Chain A
Amino acid sequence: MTDAPPRPRSLADLFIAFTLLALQGFGGVLPVVQREIVERRRWMTQEEFIEEWAVAQTMPGPNVCNLALVIGSRFFGLRGAAVALLGLLLVPALVVLTLGSVYSHYADQPRVAGALRGMAAVAAGMVVAMGIKLGATLRKHPLPLAVTLPLAALGIIGLAVLRLPMLAALLVLGGAGCVLTWYRLKP
């Protein structure tokens, strides 16, 4: 355990990492951030990822952009935050604008529409799989699984089945999780 935890070597390294992961993010970048930053590069642990994501999710702004800001600033301060955000947006924006410009010519092609449907189905699976993987971290949670698992299950029922507004889930279930954890943590 003498090795320092891995970290980006330079701002350029950070920029390239975020550009590459953003370009893999069809239908959602979040699973790719988790795969690349946590599992492959090990710049963060699963627990740190969840904690930072809780903040990124509850603040205004696109969640993935918020997350990139936190990760970047953690290694290189304000410059790191700006570089991570730029990496996430710059090259993908050029791709999106190019696609937008040629899209109208191919929009009616059934093969193109089919390919998009297939990619969207895989992307949905990516997000669910990430949720399951992160669910494993609940074993190290200050609260017992008998509390955290029902909380998560209620959240899934409320959001995916009953389609309650996210703000309600944040206030009620997020709030309950925070209050219970607060009591559990030693002062």
Chain B
Amino acid sequence: MTADLPAAPLQIVLAWHDWLDLFAHYLVISLMSVGGTIATTAEMHRYLVEQHGWLTQTQFNDSIAIAQAAPGPNVLFVALMGWNVGMNAGSYAAAAFGVIVTMVGALLPSSVLMLLAANWGHRNRELRLVRAFKQGMAPLVIAMLVSTGLILGSANGNVATDWPLYTVSAVATLLIWRTRIHLLWLLAAGALLGALGFL
């Protein structure tokens, strides 16, 4: 399967302390990932590509693009990066190990914190402070969602050429808001329009 990495395949050797270092790095990234793991991509790039040279720039970019396009949470780009580091180290076993090291590292500390916070919040849910926090955040939560959608929908930012994309986004917004049509039908329609060259 070396044909999968045609452009300058990277060959690296990872010792046990390198794996440990990788794991430790992702543990720290997990704690820094307020606003989502994607917010820490710059730090991952510095570590994996610039400092250690364990991933090529292309592998790094493709990992993010594929995870965004594929089903599932976007955090799976971390799994792809771990996989590619392992493949660069020379085997499928190393690749699978890379997935486990990076994903467990990226999720363990944040998950423990989240569960502690959720349990504390649930036990103290009648506290005025807890209710004020959970309900008081609602306007901003809604603003964050709408903003995320707007930013995703204006990725290229060229109105002259992107207006068909904006139209698709706007129609999808209306249909999802006002109807109960299944999301997969809309995604399929979008994929079809794009594949036929309309977008």
Residues of chain A touching chain B, judged by Cβ–Cβ distance below 8 Å, are 22-32, 35, 39, 50-66, 69-70, 73-74, 78, 81, 85, 88-89, 91-93, 95-97, 99-104, 107, 110-135, 137-138, 141-143, 148-149, 151-156, 158-160, 163, 166-167, 169-170, 173-174, 177-182, 185, 187
| B63: A residues at CB distance < 8 A | 100
Given contacts A54-B134, A118-B193, A185-B132, are A81 and B145 in contact (CB under 8 A)? no
With contacts A52-B134, A54-B140, A95-B71 known, what are 13 further pairs, Cβ within 8 A? A25-B72, A26-B69, A59-B110, A73-B115, A100-B62, A107-B62, A118-B189, A118-B191, A125-B170, A126-B183, A131-B142, A182-B129, A182-B136
Interface string of B167-199 (1 = CB under 8 A from A): 011111111110010011011011111111101
Partner of A132, one of B83, B165, B177: B177
Contacts of A142 in B (CB 8 A): 135
Contacts of B70 in A (CB 8 A): 26, 92, 95-96, 99
Is the CB–CB distance between B146 and A132 below 8 Å? Answer: yes
* Distance between A20 CB and nearest chain B CB, rounded to angstroms: 10
Q: Do B71 and A24 have beta carbons less than 8 Å apart?
A: yes
* B117 on interface, CB distance cutoff 8 Å: yes
Closest Cβ–Cβ distance, residue B111 to chain A (whole Å): 6
Interface 1/0 per residue, B146-166 and A, CB below 8 Å: 111111110100000000011
Q: Which residues of B contact A26 (CB under 8 A)?
A: 69-71, 187
The docked-state distance in angstroms from the alpha carbon of A128 to that of B142 is 9
Residues on the A chain within 8 Å of B149, using CB: 124-131
The interface size of chain B toward A, counting residues with CB under 8 Å, comes to 98
Which residues in B have their C-beta under 8 angstroms from that of A112? 195
B 94-128 binary contact with A (CB < 8 Å = 1; else 0): 00000100010011011101110111011000001
Of B114, B121, B136, B180, most A-chain CB atoms within 10 Å: B136
Interface-central residue, A127, A155, A156, by most chain B CB under 10 Å: A127
Docked-complex contact B114 and A119, CB < 8 angstroms: no
Please tell me if the beta carbons of B114 and A56 are within 8 angstroms of each other in the complex.
yes
In angstroms, Cα B166 to Cα A180, docked, is 36
Q: Which residues on B sit within 8 Å (CB–CB) of A126?
A: 149, 172-173, 176, 183, 186
Contact of B140 among A31, A103, A114, A152 (CB under 8 A): A152
The 10 closest A-B pairs by CB, nearest first: A92-B72, A155-B143, A61-B110, A118-B194, A125-B172, A124-B153, A127-B149, A178-B136, A128-B149, A131-B145
Q: Are A81 and B138 in contact (CB under 8 A)?
A: no
Contact of B192 among A39, A99, A115, A123 (CB under 8 A): A115
